Structure 1
Amino acid sequence: MTKDLEHQFVTELEHNQNIVHKVCTLYTNDRDSHNDLFQEITIQLWKAYPKFRGESKFSTWMYRVALNTAITLYRKSKKSIPTQDYESVMFKITADEYDPTEEQQLKLMYNAVRQLGDVDKALVFLYLEDKDYREIAETLGITEVNARVKMNRIKNKLKTILNP
């Protein structure tokens, strides 16, 4: 790979790394797993970058690679022995000025989204990133109509999960 191509890749990755972090947050439960997945996605992006043709935006291509990598590793991890998340068992001290309500709501939402299927998780992620249905459909390889229908069904499913 040429230095120019390497520079382009690093610049694009630095500019769009929040995409990878958000995918990692969605598919992991702890900091170490997050870091491992971030590293794996970065490696996969690096390997695939010479084949990036620019037919879509870099961020759209990055979403697709990141989600595919996360889903692949998530499916492999389902076969492993389940462990308990460190954050769920550690003792927490809250300061008077700290309001845990928002953090708790985010955790509930992430837990609800984690209960969805792989494609549904990805669709919610892209929707929350304010991507339009055309870009969501392009990223996930489905039709725009299918993306809209799936999102409506997912919203109902999430309501059921969050308000049993």
Structure 2
Amino acid sequence: MNKTLEHKFISDLEENQNIVHKVCRIYTNNKEAHNDLFQEISIQLWKAYPKFRGDSKFSTWMYRVALNTAITLYRKSKRTIKTQDFESVLYRIESIDYDDSEEKQLKLLYKAIHQLSDIDKALVLLYLEDKSYKDISEMMGITEVNARVKMNRVKTKLKNILNP
């Protein structure tokens, strides 16, 4: 890859990195996993960048690559055995969070979102980003009608999780 293309990629990634962080926040539970996923998405974006034709906005294309990467890794992680570091169990110290009510509600929402399927998480992320159903359908590779129907079902799921 030539230097001009490399500089363009770095510029585009820096300008739109919040997209990747938002995807990482939806699919991970801790800082290390967030950083790992961010790195993996960045690698996949770099590999796919030469094929980006500019038919859509860079941010739309970036969402699609980021979500596909996160969903693929999320599915692979479900097949592995979950382990926990022994030291973290031994030295776990409970802390009291003095969050304001809005931050607590946001944490509850993210906790509820983490209970959704990988596709539903992607829908919620794009919906919370105020993406139109047309954009959501383009990014997810589904019809606009299907995006609306799925989003209504996800809203119902979230209401049931948050208010059992």
TM-score (norm 1): 0.91
Which amino acid letter does the alignment assign opposite residue 35 of structure 1?
N
Q: Using the alignment, how far apart are the partners of 2:145 and 2:112 within structure 1?
A: 24
Question: Which gives a bigger RCO, structure 1 or 2 (Cα 8 Å, sep 6+)?
Answer: 2
4+ aligned runs moved over 4 Å, structure 1:
83-86
User: Quick check: 1:5 aligned with 2:8?
Assistant: no
Q: CA 1:84/1:162 → structure 2, altered by over 3 Å: closer, same or farther?
A: farther
**1:100, distance to aligned residue in structure 2 (A):** 3.6
Give the superposed CA RMSD.
1.7
2: CA distance, partners of 1:154 / 1:76: 23
Q: Residue 91 of structure 1 is aligned with which of 73, 80, 94? A: 94
Q: How does 1:43-58 map to 2 (within 5 A)?
A: 43-58=43-58
Structure 1: gaps spanning 5 or more residues? none
1: CA distance, partners of 2:58 / 2:93: 39
Amino acid at match of 1:91: E
Aligned length, in residue pairs: 159
What fraction of aligned residue pairs are identical, expressed as a percent?
Answer: 73
Whether 1:67 aligns to 2:79 is no
Deviations 1:36-66 (A, max 9, x none): 0000000000000000011111001000100
Distance 1:99 1:38 in 2: 27
Partner Cα separation in structure 2 for residue 131 and residue 40 of structure 1:
24
| Aligned match of 2:35 | 35
What is the aligned partner in structure 1 of residue 24 from structure 2?
A: 24
User: Could you list the per-position Cα deviations for residues 106-137 of structure 1 after superposition, in whole angstroms to 9, with x for gaps in the alignment?
Assistant: 22111111111111110110000111010000
Unaligned runs of 5+ in 2: none
